[in-house]
Amino acid sequence: AKKGAAKPAAAKKKLSPEEAELKALEAENEAEADQENEEIEAQKVDVAHRIKYLTQMAVKAKKEGEKASAVKLMKVIKELKSAQETLNEGILVDLSKFPKAPGAPVAVPTKTVVAEKSKPKPKPQAAPARAVQNEEGEEEAGPAGGGATEAEWEGRIAEYRRAALMAKKEGNKDKAVELMKWVKKMEAELENVRIGMSSMKLLPPVAKLRLACVENKKAVENAAKELEAMTRKGGREQVLMTLDEQLRKQMKELLVYAEEAGKNTTEQGKKIVALIHQFKSDLDSVRSMFPYAHLPPPRFHFEMRGIQVPTLLKDLKDNEMRVKIIGVKGLKKDGGAEFDKDMMVGFSLPFPSSEDPTEGVSMEYKYKAPQMDLDFAQTFQIARQSQAFARLIRKDRKMKIFVNHQQKGFFKKSLVNIGEGHVKLGELSKKAVMKAPVRITANSKTTGEVTVEIALRRPLDDVAMEEKAMKLLIIDEFPKADATVEQRIVTEVKKVEAPAPAAKAKPAPAQASEEEIQAEIESLTDVNRLYSNNCLDAEKERIQKLLTLPSTETNNHEELRIRLGVVETKLMMLVKAVQSEQLSMDDYVSDLIKIHIPKEKKAALRLKKLGKLTEAKIALDYYKAMEQEVAEIQAGIEE
C-alpha cells in the first residue's frame, strides 16, 4: 500500500520541459542574486566613503575661497547620493565616472573577491546589453534579406528567460509557461539564422510587452470569434469586407511608423515597408475574391507582434527646433548686485539668411531675483532637409546666445549687454534632446552661466527606437480552386443537368425528384448567384417592391431587409472592384458571356421542365438583364 501511495506522489512531481527549465534557471538566478547582493553591499560602503571624503574636500575648498571647485565637488556629491538611492533599491551602479577616494573602505576587498568570482559567468549580464545595442543600432545590423540578427535573437531569448523567472516568482505560472514557450520558438528561429537561413520574422515584443500580450490574448481570441460569428451571420461578403477594413487599418498605422523610421533609408524602415507590402498583397487577394461566390473566405488569425518604432518628440514638428533655458547661475551687475529688472534673451543660428529668416530672433524675458523664470522657450522654424542645416549639425557649428538687461529710464528704455555665449550643436546628430551649460562672457569676463536645452523632433542621423505591441491580422491561407472559375462553374452546371437523361432511362423516386427541385430553387434565391450589375439592381428593386407589401410568412420583411443589405454590399464591392481595376472590364464581360448568361439560360429551361414557372421566370429575368448589360457595354466601347 505504501508503494502504491508513493506512485501518485511521484507522478505529481513530474515537471513539463518548460517548468524543468524554469527550475534550473531559478537555481542559477538565486546564485547570481546572492553574488549581486554582495556587490551591492560593497558598492554601498564605497559610495558612503567617497561622499564623506568629497564633502571634506568641498568644505576645505570653500574655506580657501575656491568657490568653483567647491561647486563642482558638490555636484559630484549630489550625483553620488543619487547613486546611493539607486543602490538602496537593489540596483548596481557604474562608479567608474566618479572620482576615487584615497583609503579603501572596509568592504572593498569583499567586492574584489565577488568580482573575481563573477568572471566565469559574464553571459547572463552581457546578453541584455548586447540586445540593447543591437536594437539601438539596428540600421547597421540585420541580414540583407531582412529579419533579426543572431545577436538580437540571443538577447531577446535571454530577456524572455528572465521575465519567465520573474513571473514564476510572482506566482503567475501561466505567464511563465507562456514565455518559456516563446523561448522555444525563438531558439528554433535562432538555429535557422545560425545555419545561414535569413529569418524574415520580426522579433517578438520585449518581455514587458509580451506579458501585456499574454493579458490581451483573450481579447485577440474574442476578435477572431467575432469574425467567425460574422461569417455565419452575414455571409462571406461581410467577412471579406471586415478583412479588407482591418488590413487597410493596420497598413495605414504601419505606414506612419515607416515614414517616421526613414522608410527605405534605414534597416528598420525597410522591414516595416516589407511588412506593408505583405499586407498589401493579402489585401489585393481579398478584394479579388469578392466577385467569385463559390470561394470560401480565407483562413486567418490575430497575432500580437512587436514592432520597433522611432522615439519622437510628439510636441515638435519635423521643421522645428526648440531652445529652452532650464538653468541660470550668476548674471550679476559689475557691482555684484543681482539684476531685478527686465531682460532680453536672444538666440542666433549660423544659417544663411536666405534659408532661415528667423536668424537672430530675440524675445523679452522677465528676470525674477534670485533666478530667472525658467518657462522661457523659443521655437525656430528650420529647413531640416537642407544641406545647410545638415552641415550646421555635422560640423558641430555654434549657436550664439546673448543676454541683455533692459533698463527703464525716465524718458526711454535702454539695453545693457550682460554678455554672450556659444553652444555647439553636434550632439543633435545622434540625440533628439541635448543639454549644455553655456558660459556668458562680456569683455572677456565671465558674468554668469545658463543651462540650455535644445530639442528636435528626431535626431538628424540616428533614430532611437522603442518597441510597441501591435495586434495584426495575419492571413494563413487563401482558398485554392482545383480548376479555373469557368471550368468549375461549367462542371457544376453539368452536374445539375446530368440526372435528367437518367430519369428517362430509369424513373427516379418522387422524394429524390422533390429534393432536386428544392435544391434548384434554393440555389436560385442565393444572393451569391447574382453576379452582374444589372441583376443586382433588378434584385434590389424587387426587394424594395416586396417591402411595400404587408409582412407575411412568405414575405418576411426582416429577412428581406437582411437580403437587401447583402445585395447592396455586393453591388458596392463589384463597382469598387471594377473602378479600382482589380476586375478589368474585359474579364467582367467575358465572365458574363461565357459563364453566367449560359448558366441562367439553362437554369430557366430546367426549372420550366420541372414545372416551376415562377422560379423559371426569375432565372429568365437574370438572363435577359445580363444580355442587356453586355449589349450596353459593347455599344459604349464601340462609341
How far separated are the first and last CA of the chain, in Å rounded? 98
Handedness of CA 157, 158, 163, 164 (dihedral sign): positive
Indicate the angle between helix axes 267-288 and 557-579, nearest 10 degrees. Answer: 120
| pLDDT recorded at residue 293 | 65
Question: How far is Cα 205 from Cα 203, in angstroms, rounded to an integer?
Answer: 6
pTM across the whole model? 0.35
Containing 398, the helix (H) or strand (E) segment is: strand 398-408
Question: pLDDT tens-digit profile of 200-254?
Answer: 455 665 555 555 454 455 556 666 666 666 655 556 677 788 888 888 888 888 8
Instruction: Please state the rounded mean pLDDT for residues 484-499.
Output: 44
Question: pLDDT tens-digit profile of 443-459?
Answer: 878 778 888 888 888 78
Question: pLDDT tens-digit profile of 64-101?
Answer: 888 888 888 888 888 888 888 878 777 777 787 788 77
If you write DSSP's letter for every residue of 106-158 in order, what string do you get?
TTHHHHHHHHHHHTT--HHHHHHHHHHHHHHTTTT-S-TT-S--HHHHHHHHH
